[in-house]
Amino acid sequence: MTDPAPASLDAAASGEAPPERAARPPIGELAFAAVCVALGVYAIIGAGFIRVPPGSASVLGPRVFPYAVGALLVAASAAVIVQVLRGRRGVPDDGEDVDPDAPTDWLTVGKLVACFLSQLVLIEFAGWPIAVTVLFAGAAWSLGAKRWWMALLVGLGLGLVTQLVFGAWLGLSLPAGALLDWIPIFHG
């Protein structure tokens, strides 16, 4: 005995068009593009506040890269907005195991937002390595990591390595925090 074919295969075999999904308004695409435009404008405005040392005669100063990134972000986002408003929307990839009609898991989104917002407090008070540990482990836990302790260790390793590379070897100032402030190698 054979299994009955799904309705979409029956429609394709009979020459009929498969049933269309209800068209949803492109709110998500427009919101994402609008946030990208805002970030690009912020980058352009922020680049104007970068101090340029007096007497630097080089053509490329410290403002060039942020201006370029901001301008590209604004241009690309504006192009996306125009295309979405013209009706050209992104098509979900057939190879992904994602249900495009599934509702958003707002609890997971809230956990991830909380992990990112924790950086505002933790970087200043606890230091870069601890803040990165909390961000990495929290994001892994939010997304369903089974071994939370492994995510905690990986996050701590990433935080310490980036602190050493950027703070000690490149001379950039990443706050070491109260736990690591007494170790001279962690000072930029």
Q: What is the pLDDT of residues 38-91, one digit of tens each?
A: 999 999 999 989 887 776 656 677 788 899 999 999 999 999 999 999 988 777
The token pair that represents 6 in the structure block: 């799904």
Per-position DSSP letters for 7-54, written without gaps between them: HHHHHHHHTPPPPPPPPPP-HHHHHHHHHHHHHHHHHHHHHTTS---T
**Model pLDDT, residue 15:** 52
The token pair that represents 74 in the structure block: 């604004």
Q: What is the pLDDT of residues 143-179, one digit of tens each?
A: 988 888 899 999 999 988 888 887 767 777 788 777 7
Q: Rounded to 10 degrees, what is the CA torsion of 80, 104, 130, 155?
A: -90
